[in-house]
Amino acid sequence: MSIKPGAMLGLLGGGQLGRMFTMAAQSMGYRVTVLDPADGGPASSVADRHLHADYLDSDALRELGSTCAGVTTEFENVPAESLRTLAEPCVVSPAASSVAVAQNRILEKNFLAANGFGVAPYAVIQNSSNIHNPDGVIQQKRPELFPGLFPGILKISRFGYDGKGQARVSNPAELDTAFIGMNREPCVLEKLLPLESEVSVIVSRGFDGEVATFPVSENQHRDGILDTSIIPARASPAIIQNARDIAVRVAEKLDYRGVLCVEFFVLADGRLLVNEIAPRPHNSGHYSIDACVTSQFEQQVRILCGMPLGSTAMHGAAVMVNLLGDLWQGGEPKWEQVLRHPCVKLHLYGKLEARHGRKMGHYTVLAESTEAALQLALEIKQSLEC
């Protein structure tokens, strides 16, 4: 049964991903209600309605469930309990069970390892005694692995993103200090590996099992934040196909219905290790708005509403560059440096305050070749930073 245009859709979360979902839904004839505890968020400023309440507010959830035909999310840290509550009166995508795994790094790593997906060697740190007694740590593959995890990166199990909630550690003493700095919350200690590159795949899976993947993105980060995405990724056909195949298998094992991002480490020998999974559209898929027949956000609407998936074919090569709040430190950036190029698309998220490291927007360069798109993207980047 499909949800027809004209219906009200619900969205948990008010950030830029929600803004782009809302715009895609409205262009298809749907209306959108955003549930967001914050005022003036990117999504609520364009939505048809804003419920200003906590994600666990029972009255707000009742209102959302009774007025919306379907509900989705725009970030992974929405309480799974809220999704379970909403699944009773209306369609929910993705399901609480899928989100509960993807929003917790411990559950995520254990799920991936248990299902045979390659991951970096890791250990789960539940409390300080684990650090001083490694034999008590849940480890992948073999118990003596814990001493071999240095240098490593400590990642908090919940609410970490864009480099937040992470710390590089070289020995148990640094691990102890970092763990204290994360308020002794459960964490994953992951071995740092020499990487050839990082890539990601956006996979869409409908309620009927129909699956589509977007072109693989090559991602470059700065200070833990995605800086540039290059599409299609500069990798061998074997790596590209393998990444797509693994992403689909992850979605199937999760019984995932919606838009999912699977991030990979590419090792020098061509092996792919799953880094993280995100139960939502992803920053590395923003290029799809301008470069693909169907964007990841339109695909999210299609799945939620039980409609057939759209084509993910590209019009040409693309490079997406994030615009962080640092660019505003000298005043409003000179957008003519971006817009004077007819093949470049500018997206600003309507955030009221520009802060260090905050994603304020992005631009996408379209070209016939990856090399041409990347060259122009870097020239624009340099001109904005001057």
Residues annotated in the binding site for ATP, as ranges?
105, 155, 160-166, 190-193, 198, 221, 275-276
Is 121-191 a CATH 3.40.50.720 domain?
no
Judged against a pLDDT cut of 50, whether residue 60 lies above it is answered with yes
CATH code linked to domain 195-385: 3.30.470.20
Domains 8-93 and 121-191 share a fold: no
Residues 6+ apart with CB under 8 A from 340: none
Tens of pLDDT along 303-351?
999 999 999 999 999 999 999 999 999 899 999 999 999 999 999 999 9
CATH number, domain 8-93, options 3.40.190.10, 2.120.10.30, 3.40.50.20, 3.60.70.12: 3.40.50.20
136-144: list long-range contacts, CB under 8 Å, 24+ apart: 138/110, 140/109, 140/113
Q: Percentage of the chain with pLDDT > 90? A: 87
CA 318 distance to own-chain centroid: 19
Judged against a pLDDT cut of 80, whether residue 214 lies above it is answered with yes
- Interatomic CA distance for residues 363 and 377, integer angstroms: 8
Q: Which phi-psi region, left, alpha or beta, contains residue 42 (left: φ > 0; alpha: ψ -120 to 50)?
A: alpha
Nearest to 299 by CA among 210, 364, 200: 210
Q: Is 77 exposed, middle or buried (0-12, 13-18, 19+ CB in 10 A)?
A: middle
* Banded model confidence at residue 161, pLDDT cuts 50, 70, 90: low
Q: Percentage of the chain with pLDDT > 70? A: 94
pLDDT for 141: 39
pLDDT for 264: 98
Taking the CB of residue 341, how many other CB atoms lie within 10 A of it?
Answer: 17
- Interatomic CA distance for residues 112 and 118, integer angstroms: 7
Per-residue DSSP letter, 71:
E
Residues annotated in the binding site, as ranges?
105, 155, 160-166, 190-193, 198, 221, 275-276
Structural element, H or E, at residue 297: helix 296-304
**Where are the domains positioned within the chain?**
8-93, 121-191, 195-385
